[in-house]
Structure 1
Amino acid sequence: MTAVQSPRANVLLRGGPASQMSEAERVRYVADPALSLKIQRGNRYEHFEPTPETVSHDGSDLQVFAWSRVTYVAE
């Protein structure tokens, strides 16, 4: 078995519930940083939109994704 490294973090989530998330949840890898991001959290989805802003974090430049809205899972 060979070890596979996970992709390097490339985005930082900001706003909305991101303030309630741990740093490990807010800093993450997104395959296509030009597209919106939807994260399931319990009975809802938190939506984040890419911005042109970048921030430096642990020696890497991360694109900022800003919270835009919440939608709920249909029962």
Structure 2
Amino acid sequence: MSQRPNVILRGGPSVPDTERVLYVPDPTQRLKIFRGHRYEHFEPTPETALHAGRKLLVFTWSGCTYVAE
């Protein structure tokens, strides 16, 4: 069963707008998203944002790390 989105991502160079609203099982933890050859890291904030009538937690981009070859 699909979970309802609870997070919106802010910032970061390589995450398309269509992938910025998502469900995160533990919204108190740092989020790491694989994007090709690197991971984009997002940190939870105390902010919320209204999106499509729903209040979502805001995560902000904190940097990236590259996958070792």
**Same fold per superposition (TM over 0.5):** yes
For residues 2-57 of structure 1, the C-alpha deviation after alignment (integer angstroms, 9 at most, x for no partner) is xx3x1000000001126x5133x000000000000000000000000000000011
- Corresponding letter in the other structure for 1:41: R
Q: Between Structure 1 and Structure 2, how many residues are aligned?
A: 69
Secondary structure of 2:68's counterpart equals coil
Which of the two has greater helix per residue?
Answer: 1
Structure 1, gaps ≥5 residues long? none
Pair member with larger Rg: 1
In structure 2, distance between residues paired with 1:58 and 1:11: 12
Task: Give the AA of the match of 2:31.
Answer: L
Q: Which residue of 1 aligns with 2:4?
A: 8
In structure 2, the residue corresponding to 1:17 is in which secondary structure?
coil
| Equivalent residue number for residue 67 of structure 1 | 61
Q: TM-score, normalised by structure 1?
A: 0.86
Q: Give the corresponding residue for 2:37.
A: 43
Match of 1:56 in 2: 50
Q: State the TM-score, normalized to the length of structure 2.
A: 0.93
Percent identical among aligned pairs is: 64
CA RMSD for the aligned pairs?
Answer: 1.2
